[in-house]
């Protein structure tokens, strides 16, 4: 009888031990499954703030400390109304961010070091984008670098906006931020000699100019000695250590925003444009001066493209795969040249910290503006698609316009001289 008792006690003990062992095992599996969502976030190229992870695994109510840059980011409903929630990769990334913002959490774009930000694990991208391998090589390249947002500076102009003499020398009314490429020496010189000339214009308005450059491809001739000379001589080049490419223009714009917030934070207006457009600077300044304060503080004006959709032909320059982005574009001002208020730069930059990079720079600016609830305003003086063929030599037509698309350096000089000629009566 006693043996039976001992035996039952042993069985009970073993059972208890097994139950205990099993539940520990189970806990472990649940725990490792818990890590899942964080993995997915990594797949989706989003980093969760450290304190977020802690909050999740301990008490959900523990306070998360927002990153200073994304402190007050909120995204307008307008963005959700324009960009649908669906299976496309970019749309998923966006809605992941929006969900976290709604939960009062801080979705942070990774601030990872430049040398480590590129996604080297192709499997991650292939898992999340089912036809990733069918994307054009450049597009694949873009996706791998989508989180790279802190390119080293190669050529800087830290005192661009605090130089000059006399009263108001430190003020910059208008900053020309001109997208150029290392080899475009002639275009830059034509801009300097014409519409991009720095100095004090009518009514003491100070204009400054910077050209935004990346790097030439490694196999191209080495232009660096020429660029250093040019930068020293003119003091208007900014160069970052990323490769020039159409799909790196969003990065270029973002680096420029960072630069301006640091080195030219009190600028009144920024004109962002290409180095092959023609700008009627006096007309532009008169327009800016005529603005009411309420408008001047929320200005985003240019040639507005209000009902564009992604182009789906892989042979086209601006091709966007359907599995990457699905939906229309928000209204945006064409990147050939548009104006933006200086006070909008900081909110724009903050919101760009949570909105995933999009490969087309002007569309991306439109998305960020939409997120802020700022709509682009059309202005008939911005002709980013050029004027009618019969008007291209007509100086009076040009005198009334603010921006005209694509002029060669000699044409630029001729036009500039023409619209300033005292002989011209329009």
317, 335 Cβ separation under 8 angstroms: no
Name which position in 12, 18, 27, 138 contacts ligand NAG (CB under 6 A): 138
CA dist., res. 4 & res. 10, Å (int): 10
Among the residue ranges 58-66, 162-170, 262-270, 309-317, the one whose residues contact ligand NAG (CB under 6 A) = 162-170
Burial class (CB in 10 A: 0-12, 13-18, 19+), 234: middle
Indicate whether 152 belongs to the interface with ligand NAG (CB under 6 A): no
Indicate whether 243 belongs to the interface with ligand NAG (CB under 6 A): yes
Determine the size of the site formed for ligand NAG (CB under 6 A). Answer: 12
Indicate whether 384 belongs to the interface with ligand NAG (CB under 6 A): no
By C-alpha distance, which of 32, 48, 46, 40 is closest to 127? 40
Helices (H) and strands (E) in the chain, counts: 15, 14
What does the block give as tokens for 259?
């630069």
- Specify the residue, 240 or 278, whose C-beta has the smaller distance to ligand NAG: 240
Name which position in 245, 250, 268, 281 contacts ligand NAG (CB under 6 A): 245
What does the block give as tokens for 354?
């949570």
Among the residue ranges 83-91, 138-146, 259-267, 418-426, the one whose residues contact ligand NAG (CB under 6 A) = 138-146
107, 101 Cβ separation under 8 angstroms: yes
Among the residue ranges 54-62, 136-144, 315-323, 366-374, the one whose residues contact ligand NAG (CB under 6 A) = 136-144
Indicate whether 248 belongs to the interface with ligand NAG (CB under 6 A): yes
Residue 418: CB minimum distance to ligand NAG, A: 36
Cβ neighbors of 335 (< 8 A, separation 6 or more) are 179, 249, 272, 273, 274, 361, 362, 365
Indicate whether 242 belongs to the interface with ligand NAG (CB under 6 A): yes
Burial class (CB in 10 A: 0-12, 13-18, 19+), 59: exposed
Indicate whether 240 belongs to the interface with ligand NAG (CB under 6 A): no
Name which position in 55, 80, 85, 141 contacts ligand NAG (CB under 6 A): 141
Residue 33: CB minimum distance to ligand NAG, A: 35
209, 192 Cβ separation under 8 angstroms: yes
- Specify the residue, 84 or 217, whose C-beta has the smaller distance to ligand NAG: 217
Indicate whether 162 belongs to the interface with ligand NAG (CB under 6 A): yes
Among the residue ranges 135-143, 321-329, 396-404, 409-417, the one whose residues contact ligand NAG (CB under 6 A) = 135-143
How many Cβ atoms from other residues are within 10 Å of residue 316's Cβ?
9
Among the residue ranges 6-14, 139-147, 228-236, 296-304, the one whose residues contact ligand NAG (CB under 6 A) = 139-147
Measured distance between the N- and C-terminal CA atoms of the chain, rounded to whole angstroms: 121
- Specify the residue, 119 or 141, whose C-beta has the smaller distance to ligand NAG: 141
How distant, in Å, are the alpha carbons of 184, 185, 343, 347 from that of 296?
Answer: 33, 33, 9, 15
Task: By CB under 6 A, name the binding residues for ligand NAG.
Answer: 138, 141-142, 145, 162, 169-170, 242-243, 245, 247-248
């Amino acid at each position: 009888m006693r043996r039976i008792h001992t035996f039952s006690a042993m069985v009970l003990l073993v059972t208890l031990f097994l139950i205990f062992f099993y539940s520990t095992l189970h806990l472990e599996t649940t725990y490792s499954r818990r890590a899942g969502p964080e993995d997915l976030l990594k797949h989706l190229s989003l980093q969760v703030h450290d304190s977020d992870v802690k909050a999740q695994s301990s008490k959900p109510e523990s306070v998360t400390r927002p990153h200073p840059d994304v402190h007050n980011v909120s995204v307008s409903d307008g963005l959700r109304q324009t960009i649908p929630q669906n299976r496309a990769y970019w749309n998923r990334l966006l809605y992941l961010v929006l969900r976290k913002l709604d939960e009062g959490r801080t979705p942070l774009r990774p601030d990872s070091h430049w040398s480590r930000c590129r996604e080297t694990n192709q499997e991650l991208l292939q898992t999340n984008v089912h036809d990733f391998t069918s994307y054009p090589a450049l597009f694949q390249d873009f996706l791998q670098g989508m989180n790279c947002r802190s390119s080293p500076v190669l050529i800087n102009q830290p005192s661009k906006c605090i130089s000059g003499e006399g009263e108001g020398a430190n003020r910059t009314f208008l900053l020309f931020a001109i997208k150029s490429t290392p080899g475009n020496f002639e275009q830059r010189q034509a801009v300097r000699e014409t519409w991009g000339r720095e100095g004090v214009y009518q009514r003491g308005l100070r204009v400054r100019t910077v050209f935004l450059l990346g790097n030439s491809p490694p196999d191209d001739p080495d232009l660096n000695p020429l660029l250093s000379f040019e930068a020293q001589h003119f003091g208007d080049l900014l160069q970052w250590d990323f490769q020039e490419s159409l799909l790196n223009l969003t990065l270029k714009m973002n680096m420029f925003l960072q630069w301006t917030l640091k080195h030219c934070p009190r600028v009144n207006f920024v004109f962002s444009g290409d180095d092959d457009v023609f700008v009627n600077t006096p007309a532009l300044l008169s327009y800016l001066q005529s603005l009411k304060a309420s408008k001047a503080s929320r200005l985003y004006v240019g040639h507005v493209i209000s009902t564009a959709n992604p182009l789906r032909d892989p042979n086209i320059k601006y091709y966007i795969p359907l599995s990457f982005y699905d939906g229309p574009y928000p209204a945006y001002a064409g990147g050939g040249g548009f104006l933006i208020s200086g006070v909008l730069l900081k909110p724009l930059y903050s919101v760009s910290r949570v909105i995933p990079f999009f490969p087309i720079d002007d569309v991306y600016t439109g998305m960020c503006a939409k997120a802020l609830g700022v709509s682009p305003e059309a202005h008939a003086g911005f002709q980013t698609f050029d004027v009618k063929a019969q008007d291209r030599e007509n100086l009076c037509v040009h005198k009334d316009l603010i921006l005209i698309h694509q002029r060669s350096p000699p044409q630029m000089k001729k036009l500039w001289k023409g619209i300033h000629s005292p002989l011209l009566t329009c």
